[in-house]
Amino acid sequence: MKLPVIVLIVMLSLWAGRAQAAPDREYILVSGGVSLYAWEKFKAQPHDSWWMNFIRAARLRIQEIQAHEPDAQITWLVYRPSYLARGRQDNRDYISDINSVRDVYHVKLIYFDHTPELINYLNAGQPRDRVKICDFEFFGHSNKACWMFDYSNNLDSASKAWLHEKELVQINRNIFTRDAFAKSWGCHTGESMGKRWRSATGVPMWGAIGKTQYMTDEMPILSSENGRWVK
């Protein structure tokens, strides 16, 4: 049956309107900072013998995303102070090394020095009425209640820069797509923080019961006996 021209025009207009209304999708990966040898050298199980723990994991995830969505819009946020401090300790320019990952994989790299900068990017780094976050993942040190961006970098076995579960309410819950995926690859996040994340944002978050172990050429794995991923 042949449709009248006016009907076709209306249908095309409606289709175009829906296409324009569909939001862009942004993947956001966050890499926290690594510890310093000065604080860790006397421990039976020192943290971060390898400076790339949280950089390599993010790079592997970038590869996974691009393998199934080559044109994915990926933004990678990295906590800069810890890599500057570790670079001074090791006499190496780690910022240039991190920049090289950006250049090879053509992602947007943003360094942050303070937690409010991270929250501000989530809420307003893009026009969030048009660019929604479809994926949020954290790589770094954590405990059951917070992400610790500079764990054992400024202070031995402690942190001066973090995002606590009580601060998650600062994140606008309207910035995510309806099917958004979230995962924290650090230790213990599934024990409390994951629930608070969902309450604050409306997005389920996968987190670990127990500890995780960062690897060289694969994504972080569970390392505690009876450990498991939960959301």
pLDDT tens digits, 112-131:
999 999 999 999 999 999 99
Domain that includes residue 182, residue range = 23-230
Tell me, what DSSP letter sits at residue 183? E
Q: How many domains does the chain have?
A: 1
- 17 falls within a domain: no
The two tokens of residue 169 are 């309410």
Task: Give pLDDT, residue 8.
Answer: 44
Residue with tokens 């924290």: 184
Three-state SS sequence of 196-211: HHHHHHCCCCEEEECC
Report the SS3 class of residue 166: helix
- 76 falls within a domain: yes
What is the C-alpha to C-alpha distance for residues 19 and 1, in angstroms, rounded to an integer?
26
Residue 65 pLDDT greater than 60, yes or no: yes
- 1 falls within a domain: no
- 6 falls within a domain: no
- 4 falls within a domain: no
pLDDT tens digits, 10-29:
444 444 444 445 579 999 99
- 199 falls within a domain: yes
Confidence of residue 42 (pLDDT cuts 50, 70, 90): confident
pLDDT tens digits, 170-216:
999 999 999 999 999 999 999 999 999 999 999 999 999 999 999 99
The share of the chain scoring above pLDDT 90, in percent, equals 84
Confidence of residue 48 (pLDDT cuts 50, 70, 90): very high
Residue 38 pLDDT greater than 90, yes or no: no
Residue with tokens 């053509």: 106
What pTM value is reported for the model?
Answer: 0.90
- 94 falls within a domain: yes
> What are the strands, taking DSSP E only, across 82-192?
108-112, 131-139, 141-142, 146-148, 162-164, 176-184
- 95 falls within a domain: yes
